[in-house]
Amino acid sequence: MLRFAGYIGMGIRPCNRTGQTKFMSCRADRIMRERQDTVPEPTIAVRGVTVFREFLDSSAQVSMLEELRDLVAAAPLLSPQTPYGRPMSVRMTSAGKYGWRSDRTGYRYESRHPSGAPWPAIPGSVLSVWEAVTGLRRQPDCCLLNFYGAGARMGMHQDRDEADFSFPVVSVSLGDDALFRIGNRTRGGRTESVWLSSGDVVVMGGESRLLYHGVDRIRHGTSGLLKEGGRINLTLRVVD
């Protein structure tokens, strides 16, 4: 189901504090053996952020999307407000032990959708990506689903609502192309931008975990995956 089109190098580097380095290298060895008959496409690493281009082929994208439709049916998309009272252009929902929420009172993780229902389980296809690129036995606590319709964007921010930054954050892009911008550990300064396309997987680990980042724009209608266009980004995080 998964196509390991990206070169597995820097991406397989979670925290060495977990004491799983041995397990990791075994796994990396196995992936490399499995990969010997495939031609690795180059993976880009920008400031330690690793991009696995077309990690998911189109059939894997379609089957993941089917699981995401069930997820959104169980936990409908929300239009979050920023703590400054402005509406976010990205619509969001979550799966897993925690969902990430934003409203007038701030950003936080919560155990339930505002409907009162617990968040649905993280789909198996999504957990497979996490396992393949991180090699961690620890599963993520949160799968945040961001939906970008025409004109949606996400301002520069850090992901720092989690307890342990030694765990990586993994992102899966589906649907329309997005211009992703990567900055620095503090706000401002020089940035570098990368276009992300459907099926790309990004790993932010180690030094890159606390870099400012954002999504400047979406090229609406560049992918045929979603009939009405739009982009879905999944971010997987260990929360506590």
Contacting positions for ligand MD3 (CB under 6 A): 49, 144, 146, 154, 159, 169, 171, 178, 202, 204, 208-209, 211, 213, 215, 233, 235
- Which helix or strand (DSSP H or E) is residue 178 part of? strand 177-182
Minimum separation from the CB atom of position 226 to ligand MD3 (A): 15
Q: At what angle do helices 58-74 and 124-134 cross, to 10 degrees?
A: 120
| Residues pairing with 179 in the sheet | 195, 217
| Residue 49 interacting partner from Fe ion, ligand MD3, none (CB closer than 5 to 8 Å by kind) | ligand MD3
| Residue 141 interacting partner from ligand MD3, Fe ion, none (CB closer than 5 to 8 Å by kind) | none
List interacting residues with Fe ion (CB under 5 A).
Answer: 159
* DSSP 3-state of 5: coil
Minimum separation from the CB atom of position 132 to ligand MD3 (A): 17
Minimum separation from the CB atom of position 104 to Fe ion (A): 20
Judged by beta carbon, residue 30 or residue 157, the one nearer ligand MD3 is 157
- In whole angstroms, what is the distance from residue 193 CA to residue 183 CA? 9
Minimum separation from the CB atom of position 143 to ligand MD3 (A): 11
**Tokens 């706000």 sit on residue:** 187
The residue of the chain with the least Cβ separation from ligand MD3 equals 233
Judged by beta carbon, residue 125 or residue 208, the one nearer ligand MD3 is 208
| Residue 13 interacting partner from ligand MD3, Fe ion, none (CB closer than 5 to 8 Å by kind) | none
| Pair 23, 3: CB distance under 8 Å | no
Q: Which residues contact 163 (CB under 8 A, 6 or more apart)?
A: 239, 240
Judged by beta carbon, residue 141 or residue 159, the one nearer ligand MD3 is 159
Concatenate the DSSP letters of all residues of 31-90 into one string.
Answer: HHHHGGGS-PBPPEEETTEEEETT-S-HHHHHHHHHHHHHHHHHS--B-PBPTTSPBPSS
Judged by beta carbon, residue 27 or residue 213, the one nearer Fe ion is 213
Minimum separation from the CB atom of position 116 to ligand MD3 (A): 24
| Residue 209 interacting partner from Fe ion, ligand MD3, none (CB closer than 5 to 8 Å by kind) | ligand MD3
Judged by beta carbon, residue 32 or residue 156, the one nearer ligand MD3 is 156
DSSP category for residue 216? E
Judged by beta carbon, residue 35 or residue 153, the one nearer ligand MD3 is 153
Minimum separation from the CB atom of position 100 to ligand MD3 (A): 7
| Pair 33, 226: CB distance under 8 Å | no
Helical residues (DSSP H) of the chain, grouped into ranges: 21-34, 58-74, 124-134
